[in-house]
Amino acid sequence: MRNTICYLSILMMSLSCSQKKTDTVNVKIENNKSDTVETRKENELENNPDCVFDDNYKKLTEEWLSEVDIKTYIWDSKINKATLIYEGDTLTLYKGGCNHFVSSVEIKTDIYPNNISDSNLLTKINNIACKFKFENYCKKLMESRFKKINTGNSSYFLEFEDDDPEDNLISEGIKISEKGRRTIIEISEYYN
């Protein structure tokens, strides 16, 4: 049975091992980082004092969900988004931001669009836009005031005209794409 003797020098982070009747092996590991461990609380990750807008995504998203009578959801603090089931579809959403104040809902649905004018899909998009208070989209979807743009690869974009450029609310449009056997709908708007 061989005896191994190891020495560890913490200051230089070197490791030296030797065995009886064998050569000495030296391994040097340099560590340029400090030995302190930084810990942060969840709230400290969300709030940045240099932000133009409120970036407390959890608080703002919870308030938004409360306003629209949604009580059951899962909050993911790693991505600052809530996930919930709404009328059989999976929604992932958030509200807040640092330099842009965003309201965003992503819908994953089994409604597979045969073409963009599919009334079931447009009805679903309209219902969710109205439910989550995307007023510009809600109104214009009901009035059929949007332009369909085919972006290729089974993706579409519903473009909406901005009636009030002075309000600083940017509602660029709604993205619809197919992924596998699901349809992904992205509804978002932001203040700049």
Tens-place pLDDT, residues 27-41: 443 444 333 333 334
pTM of the predicted model, to two decimals?
0.71
**Per-residue confidence band for 3, with pLDDT thresholds at 50, 70 and 90:** very low
C-alpha–C-alpha distance, residues 176 and 117, integer Å = 12
**Per-residue confidence band for 7, with pLDDT thresholds at 50, 70 and 90:** very low
Category of 19 on φ-ψ map: left (φ > 0), alpha (ψ -120 to 50) or beta? beta
Q: What is the pLDDT of residue 48?
A: 59
**Per-residue confidence band for 43, with pLDDT thresholds at 50, 70 and 90:** very low
Pick from 112-121, 139-148, 163-172, 176-185: least confident: 112-121
C-alpha–C-alpha distance, residues 35 and 32, integer Å = 9
Question: What's the CA angle centered on 149, arms 154 and 118, to 5 degrees?
Answer: 65
- pLDDT greater than 50 at residue 16: no
C-alpha–C-alpha distance, residues 109 and 180, integer Å = 11
Please give the helix or strand (H or E) that residue 173 lies within, else none. Answer: strand 169-179
C-alpha–C-alpha distance, residues 45 and 51, integer Å = 13
Please give the helix or strand (H or E) that residue 16 lies within, else none. Answer: strand 14-19
Q: What pairing do the DSSP bridges indicate for beta strands 89-96 and 101-109?
A: antiparallel
Average pLDDT of 144-170? 87
How many residues are recorded in the chain? 192
Locate tokens 């560590």: which residue?
Answer: 31
Locate tokens 């909050």: which residue?
Answer: 75
Contacts of 150 (CB under 8 A, 6+ apart): 116, 156
Q: Per-residue pLDDT tens for 94-105?
A: 999 888 889 999
- pLDDT greater than 60 at residue 69: yes
Helices (H) and strands (E) in the chain — how many of each?
4, 11
C-alpha–C-alpha distance, residues 73 and 5, integer Å = 56
Q: Per-residue pLDDT tens for 72-116?
A: 999 999 999 999 999 999 999 999 988 888 999 999 998 877 655
